[in-house]
Amino acid sequence: MLKRQGVLAVAGLIAVFAILHLGLSPDDYSLRLLGATTLGGAAFLLMTVAVILSTRARRLENLFGGLDRMYQVHRAVGACAAFAALLHFFTVPKALPPGADLAANSLVPSAPLGILGLVLLVVGLFLALNRKISYSRWRPAHKAMGLVYLLILGHFMAAPPALLDHTSPSVLLLIAVAAIGVPALFYSIFGLGRRSARSFTIEAVNPMERATELVLKPMGKLFDFTPGQFAFIEVQAKGWNEAHPFTISSAPAESRLRFTVRDLGDWTRKVRTELRPGGTVLVHGPYGRFDSARAGTKQVWIAGGVGLTPFLSTLRAMKPGDLRKITFIYAARNESEAIFLDELKAKSAELGNVDLIPLFSDSGALARVDDLKSRLAEPLPAYDYFLCGPKPMVEGLISDLRKAGVPRTRIHTEAFAFR
C-alpha cells in the first residue's frame, strides 16, 4: 500500500518552494511572471523527485511503502512535471519587462534550452505511457530523459535576471535540490546497483506449465530478505541488456535463491529457452514491503496465477505454531496451471493454520468477494487481505472489498507495473 508520508513529503517540498517564491520574490514581478516561474520551479522539483526515486534508494522504501510504490510515484510526478512545464511555457512572458537591459538579460541560451527540453519531455512522457513499446526499446529511450533533466536545469540556470532572481530563497532552494538531483541522475544511469548487486550462478532452469523456475547459487554470502520481497535479475550474457524484477519464491533460510518466472514476453520466454546452468546473473535487491507478518492474525491471501510467488516464499518460511489464521485462495485457469499446488497442499496440512482453497476458472470458480462472505467466520472488515495476481483481478477485488466496508489500510497489494 502506498504510504502517505512519501506523497506528503513531495507535496511539502512543492509547497515550501511556492511559499518562498510567491512571498519573497522581487516586488516588480508581474503576477503573470510570478505564476509562470512558480509553475516552472514546481516542474523542475517534480522532475528531480522522479530522478531521485529512480535510484531505488532503499531508505525511501519505508517512506513510500516499497519500491513498487516508489515507481508509481515516479510515473505520477513525471506526468505532473510535464503538465506544469507546459503551463509554464504558455504563461511565461515572451518578452522582457519594459526597461530591462537587453544585453544583460539575453534570452540565449535559456529559451532554446527550455523549448528543446519541453519537446523532449512531452515525447518522453508519451513513450513512457505507451505500453505497446517493448521494454527493451522503452528502457534506453527512458534513460535518455536524463538529457531532458539537464536541459531544464540549464534553462533555469541561464534564465535572465529580469525573469528570475537567482539570489532569491526559492531559486536557491532549486539550486540546492539540483545539487542532489544531478548526482542521483548519473548514479541512476551509469552506476545503479552495480556495487550492491550480488553475483549468482545459475544452478537449474526448471520448465513448468506456462512458467519457469530459476534456481540460483550465490557466489558469496546470500543476502537477507523477507518473504514477499522481490529482486531484479540481470543476466550476464550477450543479448541480455536489462534487469527485470521478480518476486523471490524461496524461503530466507534456503541456501539457494529461487524465482518463478511467468512466460509473458520475449525476455521471460528467453529464460526458458536460452538460459543454461553455469551462467552468471547479477541480482539487485531485495525490495518491497509485501510482508504479511506485519499484519493482524486474521488474514486472507488471494493469489492469481504466478501471483502465487510471494505467498509461496512466505509458506516455505512458516513453521507450525504460527499464530496467524489464513484463508488462502489460489486462483488458476485449471489444475495443470496451478504450479506448486501439491507443495501448497502438503505445507498447508503441515502448518495447520492455513485453509487452502484452489479455484479454477475453467470450472467456473473465480475469486469473488461475495463468495468470501460464505467462507469466512467473521465479517469481511475483520481480516487483512493480501492480493497478488493479474491487474484486473486485483483491482476488481479491491473495489469490491472497499464496497463491503474493508478499510484501505487492511488491503495489501504488490504493484509490478514499473512502466
Tell me how many degrees the CA angle 121-246-216 measures, rounded to the nearest 5: 130
Contact 68, 288 (CB under 8 A): yes
Q: Note down pLDDT in tens along the chain; length 419 residues.
A: 778 899 999 999 999 999 999 988 877 788 888 999 999 999 999 999 999 998 888 888 888 988 888 988 998 998 899 999 999 999 988 776 665 566 655 656 788 888 888 888 888 777 766 667 766 677 777 777 888 999 999 988 888 877 788 889 999 999 999 999 999 998 888 766 566 789 999 999 998 878 899 999 999 889 999 999 999 999 998 888 778 889 999 999 999 999 998 877 777 888 888 889 999 999 998 998 898 988 999 999 999 988 899 999 999 999 999 999 999 999 998 888 889 999 999 999 999 999 999 999 888 888 899 889 889 999 999 999 999 988 889 999 999 999 999 999 999 987 655 55
Tell me how many degrees the CA angle 259-262-268 measures, rounded to the nearest 5: 90
Strands (E), 222-269: 230-235, 244-247, 257-262
Contacts of 45 (CB under 8 A, 6+ apart): 13, 14, 17, 174, 177
Q: Which cell numbers in the block locate residue 313?
A: 516464499
Q: Which cell numbers in the block locate residue 239?
A: 543479448
Give the residue from 24, 80, 3 showing the smallest Cα distance to 48: 80
User: How do residues 198-254 score in pLDDT, each as one tens digit?
Assistant: 999 999 999 887 889 999 999 988 999 999 999 999 999 888 877 888 999 999 999
User: How do residues 167-207 score in pLDDT, each as one tens digit?
Assistant: 899 999 999 999 999 999 988 887 665 667 899 999 999 98
Contact 154, 113 (CB under 8 A): yes
Helix axes 145-157, 135-143, angle to 10 degrees: 20
Q: Report the alpha-carbon distance of residue 339 to residue 259 in Å, rounded.
A: 13
Domains of the chain plus CATH, in order, are 4-95+105-191 (1.20.120.1770), 198-287 (2.40.30.10), 294-413 (3.40.50.80)
